[in-house]
Amino acid sequence: MINHRGPEFAALLADLTAGVRRVLQTEYDVLFFPGSGTGGLEASLVNTLSPGDRVLAITIGAFGDRYADIADSFGLAVERYAVEWGQAADPGEVRRRLQAAPTTRAVLITHNETSTGVTNDLAAVAGAVHEHSDALLLVDGVSSLAALPFAMDELGVDVVVTGSQKAWMVPPSLLLVGVGPRAWEATRTARLPRYYWDFQAQRAAQARGVTPYTPPLSQLFALRAALDIIEGEGLAAVYERHRQVGGYTRRGLARLGFALAADPAHASNTVTAARPPQGVAAADLLRRVRERHGIVLARGQGKWTDEIIRVGHLGRVNRAAIRRVLQALAHELGDG
């Protein structure tokens, strides 16, 4: 450990800020909080909005639902645009809803929905939002950033939230938040209560080379190493590797008789959700793969809890790793 109020920490913070800015493709602020993705979703709302503000929550799965639920719990006037699970949001529908509700203050969207394995077309949705309203665009980038192409400033994203444990390849509990100029403007009038998550306090401290409260120092060291790996490979190559591994995973699962849950036009390159072949129970398959092959895959979430399996393929992952997963599944399906 180092003194997190000393000069070494200030140098580390400056270095990490520059590195994360390059990944987010922003010239604006990057805030480093101790916490997980959900804390970041809450932070994005309480710093920019006031009680009763109207928000359009686009939800295509369990994490979109969570973002909407947090907004509800803070007394925002939430309109949910809920899309059938497995599908992506329709930018035309976003446009229609914003035109019908011109006082909408913010649009909430999950870039990559981890529960269904679907990636929203963020560029198209952002275009619809900015063309037809002044609403802030708040993005959950927990399972997309550092794996899927993303350019904060070009997209006009006002706040983006991401978590260390996903494609950043860092242990859990470091929260990264990108904040743009329109969001800073909103923080000046936003009246929702906040203290620990206060963006202004965080920015002021970071400008002095510290954080307001004790930072997750080990994760920040790990992030330094992860940024070296990402920059060594190159961001474009990282995105391309995820694209290839995503396709490889989907083709492999389909060959084994799984039904892919995502609309193929919007299938995620960081996580694949799939229904096992007829007669195979997802929970049983997951247990056998774990116990007999030492491979931990995920079950579904929400209404898909017992229906699907999910294979994560983000961060430090390659075809060889996925090949082992597919071989283990093939073995167990054969045995079944």
Ligand X SMILES: Cc1ncc(COP(=O)(O)O)c(C=O)c1O
Q: What is the DSSP letter of 4?
A: T
Query: 77-82 and 54-59 as β-strands: parallel, antiparallel, unpaired?
Result: parallel
- CA 114 – CA 64 distance, rounded (Å): 10
Calculate the CA 192 to chain-centre distance: 23
**143 contributes a contact to ligand X by CB under 6 A:** yes
Nearest distance, CB of residue 116 and ligand X, angstroms: 10
Question: Which amino acid does the sequence have at 74?
Answer: F
Q: Which of 138, 147, 143 is nearest to 107 (CA)?
A: 138
Minimal distance in Å, beta carbon 145 to ligand X?
A: 10
- The radius of gyration of the chain from alpha carbons, rounded to an integer in Å, stands at 20
> According to the binding rule CB under 6 A, does residue 196 interact with ligand X?
no
- Least separation in angstroms between residue 195's CB and ligand X is 19
| Binding of ligand X by 87 (CB under 6 A) | no
Alpha-carbon span 9 to 224, nearest angstrom: 12
Report which of 72, 29, 1, 2 is spatially closest to residue 205, judged by C-alpha positions.
29
Q: Are 64 and 222 in contact (CB under 8 A)?
A: no
Q: Number of C-alpha atoms within 13 angstroms, CB side, residue 77?
A: 7
Binding segment for ligand X (CB under 6 A), chosen from 9-17, 32-40, 201-209, 219-227, is 32-40
Q: Which is nearer to ligand X, 163 or 246 (CB)?
A: 163
What are the beta bridge partners of residue 272? 311
For the window 101-140, what string marks contact with ligand X as x by the rule CB under 6 A?
---------x---x-------------------------x
Q: Does 268 bind ligand X (CB under 6 A)?
A: no
234, 223 contact by CB (below 8 A):
no
Q: Which residue lies nearer to ligand X by CB, 9 or 85?
A: 85
Residues 243, 231: Cα–Cα separation, whole Å: 18
What count of Cα atoms within 13 Å lies in the side-chain half-sphere of residue 185?
8
Among 36, 50, 87, 244, binds ligand X (CB under 6 A): 36
CB closest to ligand X, residue no: 37
Query: In the complex with ligand X, which residue's Cβ is closer, 25 or 36?
Result: 36
The span from the CA of 92 to the CA of 94, in Å, is: 5
Which CB, 118 or 186, lies closer to ligand X? 118
- Selected binder of ligand X within 19, 37, 252, 315 (CB under 6 A): 37
Binding mask 149-188 for ligand X (x = CB under 6 A): --------------x-------------------------
CB closer to ligand X, 62 vs 135: 62
Task: State which residue, 37 or 300, has the beta carbon closest to ligand X.
Answer: 37
How many residues in the shown chain lie near ligand X by CB under 6 A?
10
Q: How far is CA 276 from the centre of its chain?
A: 26
Q: Is 142 in the site for ligand X (CB under 6 A)?
A: yes
Binding mask 282-311 for ligand X (x = CB under 6 A): ------------------------------
Q: Which residues bind ligand X (CB under 6 A)?
A: 36-38, 63, 110, 114, 140, 142-143, 163
